[in-house]
Amino acid sequence: MENQSRITIKEILEKKRKGEKITMLTAYDYSLATLIDKAGIDMILVGDSLANVVLGLESTREVGMAEMLHHTKAVNRAVKKALLVGDMPFGSYQKDTKTAVANARRFVDEAGCNAVKLEWFDGCLEVTEAIIKAGVAVMGHIGLTPQAVEDKKGFKVQGKDAESAKGLIAHAKELEKAGCFGIVLECVPDLVAQMVTKQLKIPTIGIGAGLFCDGQVLVAHDILGLFDRFRPKFAKEYINLNKLALEAIIRYRDEVVNGAFPDEAHSFTIKKEELERLK
């Protein structure tokens, strides 16, 4: 169901025009999405990083439409103001245009998304155009595209030499021409990201792409210190909730073991007369 009070794509484009920074975070469930939305983040991405962060899998290639839709529906129930973007999982848009369009529409029709994101691959321009023609807004994703990386060693900064940087700029322009309303730039040198940003009318949303992008996206679990299996250099931790949560869980365990929990405040009582009748 389309939520009328959500930020629109027009407003996101307007932010770039006015030079206002755009904020974006991932969410995969109702409770965290509620907080992110309340905080006034412009866009929420149900990222396929769901695979690593929530499902404990090794690669983003391991999640499919079923998992993505399941989590996106939960996030959708929470989101009132942010623009909701669904990340199309590996295999859902690369095979053929018809399947890609059908899957993109599922993110909107079944899971309440306002847009989808897809990673660059040979043939993505045709797919992007077809999805947009079918009425679904598309965000591109270039630079490091995790779905194309087979192992952790492949997680490298992209566009570090003039040739590959030129390639990135060309891809960004092609995605803009194809109709994307924004592009995620992942792991790109800051000055290359600045060049891309300056040459586009649509916003660039950086992740490990420096300060000159029009906006920033990070994995919420990284900024909250909720995921420590690996942490890329660009992921700034604003609080370590893992540490606080572990302390709380240990206190709970200890209180159950030593009989301090549940106390009166967390228990229910029965009236004396009812207890007598019961006896």
Catalytic residues: 186
β-bridge partners, 201: none
Compute the distance between CA of residue 64 and CA of residue 179 in angstroms, rounded to an integer. Answer: 25
C-beta of 251: minimal distance to ligand KIV in Å? Answer: 32
Region of 45-53, 76-84, 132-140, 174-182 interacting with ligand KIV (CB under 6 A): 45-53
Among 26, 72, 92, 114, binds ligand KIV (CB under 6 A): 26
DSSP 3-state of 147:
helix
Kindly report the CA angle at 11 between 84 and 70, in degrees rounded to 5?
5
β-bridge partners, 23: 216
Q: Tokens at residue 114, please?
A: 């306002």
C-beta of 26: minimal distance to ligand KIV in Å? Answer: 5
Compute the distance between CA of residue 144 and CA of residue 212 in angstroms, rounded to an integer. Answer: 17
**Binding of ligand KIV by 217 (CB under 6 A):** yes
Residues contacting ligand KIV: total by CB under 6 A: 11
**Binding of ligand KIV by 32 (CB under 6 A):** no
Compute the distance between CA of residue 276 and CA of residue 274 in angstroms, rounded to an integer. Answer: 5
C-beta of 95: minimal distance to ligand KIV in Å? Answer: 20
* Residue numbers 48-77 binding ligand KIV by CB under 6 A: 48-49
C-beta of 10: minimal distance to ligand KIV in Å? Answer: 23
87, 47 contact by CB (below 8 A): yes
Among 12, 15, 47, 183, binds ligand KIV (CB under 6 A): 47
User: Which lies closer to ligand KIV via its Cβ, residue 24 or residue 200?
Assistant: 24
Compute the distance between CA of residue 249 and CA of residue 66 in angstroms, rounded to an integer. Answer: 31
Alpha helices in the chain (DSSP H): 9-18, 30-38, 50-53, 65-78, 97-109, 124-133, 162-178, 190-199, 220-223, 241-258, 272-278
* Residue numbers 94-133 binding ligand KIV by CB under 6 A: none
Strands 43-46 and 115-119: unpaired
Among 104, 138, 184, 185, binds ligand KIV (CB under 6 A): 184
C-beta of 218: minimal distance to ligand KIV in Å? Answer: 7
**Binding of ligand KIV by 188 (CB under 6 A):** no
Region of 14-22, 41-49, 95-103, 233-241 interacting with ligand KIV (CB under 6 A): 41-49
| Chain residues that interact with ligand KIV, rule: CB under 6 A | 26, 45, 47-49, 87, 184, 186, 207, 217, 219
